[in-house]
């Protein structure tokens, strides 16, 4: 039998190109509640806030907690880490989407598996973390101090050793979670069109507006929710990000974000409630992310060589021991579908992004600005993140920015 074709965008990944179909499955429970949810989760600061979780759940005060702020220059390259390969075809027509009072949860059938991990892991569910309207951040993991607008987690359990996620979460390495950072194309872009695969979920949030509600949605290719490059990721040992915070998770955070529209982000931020339909005072479900936890000498691995997808800092002083400059990718720029765009590699290579000290924008070279249709915005497209204290030569162009762009 000939080998499976390589998954597009995932070099070296010999596996079926898609997860296809869908299926019914009950979200695993823990302590009588939904998996990963707890009444104390995401409560504002106070006697029941995140800082008090260890009082009722000792593991929440452990030394291997999640999420973390990944400092990319300190990640240890490990060339032995293989691409992540989702496999499996359940062949049933629907998924179950629910509001557990803390997030939107899409139950997944265990016939969906992951290759590229130490053992075989079966899918359990996926869910989202986000902020609130008018605020930029909502993701749980940070990259060099940057918090993306939202984050998706795809939860799997070790099917070789455990019967379900509820059992697996009690054991080190029992769970494997894929983390996907969600960035936003700005509304003035043609690329503000909704991400079609994410729309398969987000367009149904109105049917699970209140806690405890569920709905059936048509199945779709779950792999299409993931970034194209499944071979570029960070890996570390951590925990559930909600009580009971068991330290049983093998984390894979993809380096490449997925871009959704601003309207889709607003659906996440403004549709759901933490309260049931019967409660007299509805409470919006917002800010359902945990703050970053201490690394505590844990090792963060990267599946790619250090500097492979990063810009080399140019002259001009500064630098120090701070985070490395952000990465800029032709693919991500093209993903925003700015008017008049063409191939970006030739435009970017060798160019300079200037960044005066104490300013919050980078000014793109004129040639690049014109290529992005920037004349419609005064010719100065900007990046929404603090600049480094020196110019950054665009000596290498790759495929990994996690920063929102505004033209």
**Residue the block writes with tokens 């902020």:** 131
In this structure, the number of other CB atoms found within 10 A of the CB of residue 29 comes to: 15
Q: For residues 246 and 266, what is the distance between their CA atoms, to the nearest angstrom?
A: 31
Q: Which two tokens stand for residue 238?
A: 């951590």
Domain boundaries defined on the chain: 29-302, 330-406
Q: What is the DSSP letter of 324?
A: P
Q: Which H or E element spans position 330?
A: helix 330-335
Backbone angles phi, psi at 251, to 5 degrees: -90, 135
Q: CA of 259: how far to CAs of 92, 212, 404, in Å?
A: 28, 29, 9
Residue positions annotated with a catalytic role: 102
Q: Which two tokens stand for residue 304?
A: 């790619």
Q: Which two tokens stand for residue 315?
A: 């002259």
Its CATH architecture, for the domain 29-302, is Roll (3.10)
Written as tens digits, the pLDDT of the chain (407 aa) is: 333 333 333 333 333 333 322 222 222 323 223 333 333 334 443 345 899 999 999 999 999 999 999 999 999 999 999 999 999 876 678 999 999 999 999 999 999 999 999 999 999 999 999 999 998 899 999 999 999 999 999 999 999 999 999 999 999 999 999 999 999 976 555 446 899 999 999 999 999 999 999 999 999 999 999 999 999 999 999 999 999 999 999 999 999 999 999 999 999 999 999 999 999 999 999 999 999 999 999 999 999 998 654 422 222 222 333 334 333 333 333 333 332 223 332 323 333 333 333 333 334 444 343 333 333 334 433 333 333 333 433 333 232 232 222 22
Q: For residues 264 and 342, what is the distance between their CA atoms, to the nearest angstrom?
A: 26
Q: Among residues 200, 204, 203, 255, which one has the least CA distance to residue 225? A: 200
pTM of the predicted protein model: 0.69
**Residue the block writes with tokens 């265990």:** 110
Q: For residues 123 and 131, what is the distance between their CA atoms, to the nearest angstrom?
A: 26
Sequence-ordered list of residues with C-beta below 8 angstroms from that of 59, at least 6 positions apart, any chain: 239, 244, 245, 246, 247
In this structure, the number of other CB atoms found within 10 A of the CB of residue 183 comes to: 24
Q: Are 350 and 311 in contact (CB under 8 A)?
A: no
């Amino acid at each position: 039998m000939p080998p499976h074709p390589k998954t597009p965008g995932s070099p070296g990944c010999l596996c079926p190109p898609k997860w296809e179909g869908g299926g019914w499955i009950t979200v695993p429970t823990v302590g009588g509640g939904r998996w990963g949810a707890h009444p104390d989760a995401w409560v504002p600061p106070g006697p029941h806030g995140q800082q008090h979780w260890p009082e009722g759940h000792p593991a929440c005060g452990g030394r291997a907690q999640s999420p973390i702020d990944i400092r990319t220059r300190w990640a240890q390259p490990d060339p032995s880490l293989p691409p992540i390969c989702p496999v499996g075809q359940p062949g049933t027509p629907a998924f179950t989407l629910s509001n557990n009072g803390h997030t939107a949860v899409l139950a997944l059938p265990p016939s969906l598996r992951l290759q590229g991990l130490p053992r075989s892991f079966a899918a359990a569910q996926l869910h989202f973390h986000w902020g609130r309207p008018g605020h930029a951040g909502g993701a749980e993991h940070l990259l060099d101090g940057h918090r993306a607008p939202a984050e998706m987690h795809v939860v799997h359990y070790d099917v070789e050793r455990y019967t379900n996620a509820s059992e697996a979460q009690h054991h080190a390495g029992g769970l494997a979670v894929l983390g996907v950072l969600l960035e936003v194309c700005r509304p003035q872009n043609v690329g503000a069109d909704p991400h079609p695969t994410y729309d398969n979920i987000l367009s149904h949030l109105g049917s699970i507006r209140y806690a405890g509600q569920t709905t059936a949605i048509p199945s779709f290719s779950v792999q299409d929710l993931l970034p194209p490059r499944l071979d570029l990721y960070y890996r570390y040992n951590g925990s559930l990000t909600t009580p009971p915070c068991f330290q049983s998770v093998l984390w894979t955070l993809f380096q490449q974000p997925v871009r959704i529209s601003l309207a889709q982000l607003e659906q996440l931020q403004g549709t759901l409630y933490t309260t049931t339909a019967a409660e007299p005072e509805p409470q919006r479900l917002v800010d359902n992310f945990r703050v970053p936890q201490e690394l505590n000498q844990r090792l963060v691995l990267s599946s790619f060589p250090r500097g492979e997808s990063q810009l080399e800092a140019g002259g001009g002083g500064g630098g120090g021991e701070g985070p490395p400059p952000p990465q800029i990718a032709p693919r991500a720029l093209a993903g925003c579908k700015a008017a008049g765009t063409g191939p970006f590699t030739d435009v970017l290579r060798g160019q300079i992004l200037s960044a005066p000290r104490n300013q919050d924008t980078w000014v793109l070279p004129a040639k690049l600005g014109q290529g992005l249709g920037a004349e419609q915005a005064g010719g100065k497209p900007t990046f929404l993140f603090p600049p480094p204290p020196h110019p950054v030569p665009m000596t290498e162009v790759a495929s990994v920015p996690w920063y929102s762009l505004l033209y």
